[in-house]
């Protein structure tokens, strides 16, 4: 399957055309400037749930023969399951590997994990991202998996490999010479056969990565397993709260800075533009009811020590008050003010002082 390059204006026109006629295509990639300018989180994986196809989904069984924007690096027979498939072997939810309803929509993918004892290919998934990953930028990477019923074995790990160029190793049984930047080893998640389990990690890009390859990069002797995969996502995020599985990544004792939480000058009054980030924090705490946090207020060094200490505490308390006014239970948030005692940057520039004026939160040990 070919992934041709086209200028942004051509890609945007193709996207609009495909929207009008109601079909998916590998050529239909969104305009880069449009994507970079949006403030909402954007999934850089085209066709993340395998719903869009290049031909009628009722009569093909493999990813590389008809699923838009997905292929396989070694031409393996990575499976495609769809609710409307006329073949019972590749239908959802019941198919040749067991029973699983799609995590969303009507479709999902599936790949076999074998080792060379069986002289069979390990199967992979590969896709080209909408945009090149940016140097040193962090991305939340996630997918949903379910281990199929038919094979008794399980993988010790699944991985994601990011690359600047397409991995194209026609005929190779497995890709053990590649080292994935992300490795999932949670035995409980890799063992689960009932429903879907989310795998999630944060990846800091080196810059220029455009391709994602997913699968088992370390074959386990004597093991055969099959995994269903759905809803793959790569989303840029500046903080923990930008990641949809923040609760799984949060570390007790770790400190996280709230972005774009602003106050009136020399005041603890929150500005309206703070609500976006505060809403993320509220959702994080509601989704993780066992978590307690400490809010820490910080100021720059322009005022007196006593004034700054008081102002920083009151600003932390304003954030707590906002959260509780939105329904968060009392007692889950502690507040402290540190004044200007813990600067992040030099006080010699306006930019440095702005960075020092902040509210952080720290997850407390339950």
Q: Is the pLDDT of residue 24 over 50?
A: no
Whole-number Å distance between alpha carbons of 242 and 259: 10
Spatial separation of the C-alpha atoms in residues 1 and 73, rounded to whole Å: 10
Q: What is the CATH classification number for the domain harbouring 260? A: 3.30.1330.60
**Mean per-residue pLDDT for 327-341?**
93
Confidence of residue 220 (pLDDT cuts 50, 70, 90): low
Cis preceding-peptide flag for 351 (omega within 30 of 0): no
Q: How distant is the alpha carbon of residue 235 from its chain centre?
A: 5
DSSP state of 316: H
Residue 227, strand partner residues: 111, 147
Instruction: Please state the domain count of the chain.
Output: 2
Same domain, 86 and 184: yes
Residues 226 and 246 in one domain: no
pLDDT score recorded for residue 70: 95
Which of 236, 262, 295 lies at the terminal end of a domain, its last residue?
236
d(CA 124, CA 103): 19
Residues 265, 202 share a domain: no
Task: Name residues whose C-beta falls within 8 Å of residue 274's C-beta, 6 or more positions apart in sequence.
Answer: 260, 261, 262, 263, 322
What is the Cα–Cα distance from 149 to 177, expressed in whole angstroms?
A: 29
The predicted model gives 233-245 an average pLDDT of 76
Question: Distances from the Cα of 167 to the Cαs of 67, 124, 347, in angstroms?
Answer: 18, 11, 48
Q: Within this chain, do residues 123 and 190 fall inside the same structural domain, yes or no?
A: yes
Same domain, 19 and 74: yes
Residue 3 lies in a domain: no
**78 and 203 share one domain:** yes
- Contact indicator for 81, 95 with CB cutoff of 8 Å: yes
Q: What is the value of pTM for the model shown?
A: 0.70
Same domain for 328 and 225:
no
Q: Is pLDDT at 16 greater than 60 in this prediction?
A: no
User: To the nearest whole number, what is the mean pLDDT of the chain?
Assistant: 83
pLDDT score of 225 more than 80: yes
Reduced to 3 states, what is the DSSP secondary structure of residue 118?
A: helix
Burial of 120 (0-12, 13-18, 19+ CB in 10 A): middle
Residues 30 and 54 placed together within one structural domain of the fold: yes
Residues 225 and 88 in one domain: yes
- Based on the fold, state whether residues 314 and 337 are members of the same structural domain: yes
End-of-domain residue from the set 214, 236, 258: 236
User: Is there a domain that residue 2 lies in?
Assistant: no
Position 340 confidence tier, pLDDT thresholds 50, 70, 90: confident
Alpha helices, DSSP H, located in 82-206: 187-191
Higher-pLDDT residue of 156 and 144 is 144
Residues 184 and 257 in one domain: no
CB 14 within 8 Å of CB 30: no
Domain hosting 265: range is 240-364
Is there a single domain that holds both residue 134 and residue 273?
no
Structure tokens at 63: 């990813």
């Amino acid at each position: 399957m070919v992934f041709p390059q086209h200028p942004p204006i051509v890609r945007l026109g193709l996207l609009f055309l495909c929207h009008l006629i109601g079909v998916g295509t590998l050529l239909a990639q969104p305009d880069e400037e449009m994507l970079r300018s949006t403030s909402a989180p954007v999934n850089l994986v085209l066709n993340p749930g395998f719903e869009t196809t290049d031909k009628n989904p009722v009569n093909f069984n493999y990813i590389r023969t008809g699923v838009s924007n997905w292929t396989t690096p070694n031409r393996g027979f990575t499976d495609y399951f769809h609710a409307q498939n006329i073949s019972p072997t590749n239908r959802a939810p019941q198919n040749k590997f067991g029973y699983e309803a799609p995590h969303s929509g009507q479709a999902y993918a599936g790949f076999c994990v074998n080792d060379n004892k069986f002289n069979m290919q390990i199967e992979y998934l590969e896709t080209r991202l909408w945009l090149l990953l940016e140097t040193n930028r962090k991305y939340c990477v996630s997918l949903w998996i379910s281990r199929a019923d038919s094979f008794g074995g399980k993988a010790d790990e699944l991985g994601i490999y990011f690359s600047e160029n397409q991995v194209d190793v026609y005929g190779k049984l497995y890709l053990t010479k590649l080292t994935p930047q992300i490795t999932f080893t949670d035995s409980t998640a890799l063992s689960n056969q009932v429903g879907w389990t989310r795998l999630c990690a944060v990846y800091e890009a080196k810059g220029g990565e455009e391709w994602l390859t997913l699968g088992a990069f370390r074959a386990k002797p004597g093991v055969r397993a099959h995994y269903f995969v759905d809803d793959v996502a790569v989303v840029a995020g500046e903080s923990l709260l930008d990641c949809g599985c923040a609760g799984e990544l949060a570390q007790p004792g770790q400190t996280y800075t709230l972005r774009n939480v602003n106050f009136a000058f020399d005041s603890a009054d929150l500005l309206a533009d703070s609500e976006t980030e505060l809403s993320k924090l509220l959702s994080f705490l509601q989704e993780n009811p066992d978590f307690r946090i400490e809010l820490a207020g910080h100021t720059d060094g322009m005022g007196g020590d006593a004034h700054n200490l008081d102002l920083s505490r009151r600003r932390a308390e304003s954030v707590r008050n906002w959260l509780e006014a939105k329904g968060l239970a009392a007692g889950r948030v502690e507040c402290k003010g540190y004044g200007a005692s813990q600067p992040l940057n030099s006080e010699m520039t306006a930019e440095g002082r702005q960075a020092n004026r902040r509210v952080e939160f720290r997850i407390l040990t339950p």
